[in-house]
Structure 1
């Protein structure tokens, strides 16, 4: 799979990104014609981090991450996945998180990789993948993504659903496809953005009030970046992909996976099971952390970035 069109300049909201200078932001066209947005920070003598964001996320959210990796000697490339950020939204209701097939995200991976090489980002490449990006990233590793090592943050290798409701989630999301209501929001979700609407107290993302305020400022200034709940179709695709990934043998790449002790979004059981079988893999359980390790307190953020950089240094 390869990009289908010459990239052109795309907007980057530097006013809210808290990112280092020198960013190049591009529109890319994936092989199936979907327009996505990608950003590249070239400076870094040790190689390039390919950062795969989670569901609802967007490039500017990882401006601080670009600075963290630059300080550790790495360039960075990241992306707005199809259906979120400023990439093409896939339903008339642009607040619905949606994808045709979960494997379609691999078209976006291919376009990002092609442009990273066209931008002459330094090699070798390394993967950092958060939440939904962790599922996309694990699939990409199985399809031989050309990276030397991978670091995951709360990877979505399972979706947290109450055990008593899991059969209903499977049944409803599966029936939504032939019945024609797959575009509807998954139960318990709505067009509202979680970060824009939920107060800091007892939020499920971070224990750092400053980082939560950072995310809220971004969506307040640029509401076009926001995304609401997933469609039933997306939910069914995600459930199927997670099940498929768990049935595969762990890849052979050196790997670090960080998981907060207070994780409440992804299903932690599959993370433990996948990492238990990953030769050369390490599961780092971070006491007190919520879902977003890279948006956590300064000490937790530093711990993750230092650990990821050390892994990459050992595998350059």
Structure 2
């Protein structure tokens, strides 16, 4: 049976600022959703599967793809279902939503099929950020065929006020019982954080140039932007973090980078997970905020150097 031709998707190279030759493709998942993958195909040492965080999209990782290519690696990034240019799952397209967190694994399978079809360089490696780190950990537990994995501020728990923590999961579950899973989660916004916030006091990066890079993308292309999560997303994300915390670490060499100024993900599950990960290593970045791949030049260089060293050592 002849495969259907690959369909080229929109790709904003002028905003991504990635290596030459980048392009994007539409992919169809097993449950018939349309997602988007961005490919920077040049890399003699192998290909990095790049799993972005919640609200993120292919173009945001153009500079990361350039950093990886400079170290010998091709990159494939993904627009998860419900964000970027992938199919949005609610009538209000600004709300981040997924039916079940493990549905993201269908997106992973679609990207793996693209990697095979394009015959991208092997072996494969994994780089993930925030929510992408939760998807990545589940993928590794399911046997994702990569040689090593690098995590930036993985979402193995969600930061929230201490008083809210005991009520978050029951409240999210009750919202589902009453058909309110599509509602905006409490204490979150119906606007894009990067589009609306000022650099001063932001919780993502301490670097003004990287802040301008991110803001320009969602201001010039608002169709890429996403606001707060739905109650349904919150319920299934909390359940996924809880379930994975009970499982042993996968048998995969791993590096996790965490900023000392981190305010978005829960720190305790990250420290606990890495303390018990045989072949795992935790690196702290003094003064860094949530998005270490979008931090100051010195921090970014350190992160990508450590990532490349891990990948180079596992060929």
What TM-score does the superposition give when structure 1 sets the normalisation length?
0.98
Name 2:95's counterpart in structure 1: 96
Residue 229 (structure 1) shift: 0.3
Residue 60 (structure 1) shift: 0.3
Name 1:20's counterpart in structure 2: 19
| CA-based RMSD | 0.9
Shift of the 88–277 alpha-carbon distance from structure 1 to 2, 3 Å rule, reads same
Answer yes or no: is the 8 Å Cα contact 1:40–1:116 preserved in 2: no
Q: Mind listing any 5+ residue stretches in structure 2 that lack a counterpart? A: none
Name 2:120's counterpart in structure 1: 121
Answer yes or no: is the 8 Å Cα contact 1:37–1:80 preserved in 2: yes
What TM-score does the superposition give when structure 2 sets the normalisation length?
0.98
Answer yes or no: is the 8 Å Cα contact 2:24–2:39 preserved in 1: yes
CA deviation string 1:72-127 (max 9, x = no partner): 00001010000000000000000000001000000000000110111111000000
Q: Mind listing any 5+ residue stretches in structure 1 that lack a counterpart? A: none
Residue 282 (structure 1) shift: 0.2
Name 2:172's counterpart in structure 1: 173
Name 2:187's counterpart in structure 1: 188
Measure the CA separation in 1 of the matches of 2:187 and 2:213.
26
2:293 paired with 1:288: no
Answer yes or no: is the 8 Å Cα contact 1:204–1:290 preserved in 2: yes
Name 2:83's counterpart in structure 1: 84
Measure the CA separation in 2 of the matches of 1:297 and 1:93.
34
Answer yes or no: is the 8 Å Cα contact 1:135–1:242 preserved in 2: yes
Measure the CA separation in 1 of the matches of 2:147 and 2:206.
32
Matches within 5 A, 1:1-316: 6-316=5-315
Residue 6 (structure 1) shift: 4.8
Residue 24 (structure 1) shift: 2.5
Q: Partner of 1:274: helix, strand, or coil?
A: helix
Answer yes or no: is the 8 Å Cα contact 1:48–1:74 preserved in 2: yes
CA deviation string 1:147-196 (max 9, x = no partner): 00000000000000112111221121010111001100000112200000
Answer yes or no: is the 8 Å Cα contact 2:133–2:156 preserved in 1: yes
Measure the CA separation in 1 of the matches of 2:53 and 2:273.
19
Measure the CA separation in 2 of the matches of 1:143 and 1:76.
22
Q: Partner of 1:144: helix, strand, or coil?
A: coil
Q: Partner of 2:310: helix, strand, or coil?
A: helix
Shift of the 242–166 alpha-carbon distance from structure 1 to 2, 3 Å rule, reads same
Q: Partner of 2:148: helix, strand, or coil?
A: strand
Measure the CA separation in 1 of the matches of 2:270 and 2:4.
37
Measure the CA separation in 2 of the matches of 1:154 and 1:55.
12
Shift of the 88–5 alpha-carbon distance from structure 1 to 2, 3 Å rule, reads farther
Measure the CA separation in 2 of the matches of 1:90 and 1:118.
27
Q: Partner of 2:122: helix, strand, or coil?
A: coil
Measure the CA separation in 2 of the matches of 1:181 and 1:73.
47
Answer yes or no: is the 8 Å Cα contact 1:5–1:28 preserved in 2: no
Measure the CA separation in 2 of the matches of 1:16 and 1:175.
41
> How many pairs align?
313
Answer yes or no: is the 8 Å Cα contact 1:192–1:229 preserved in 2: yes
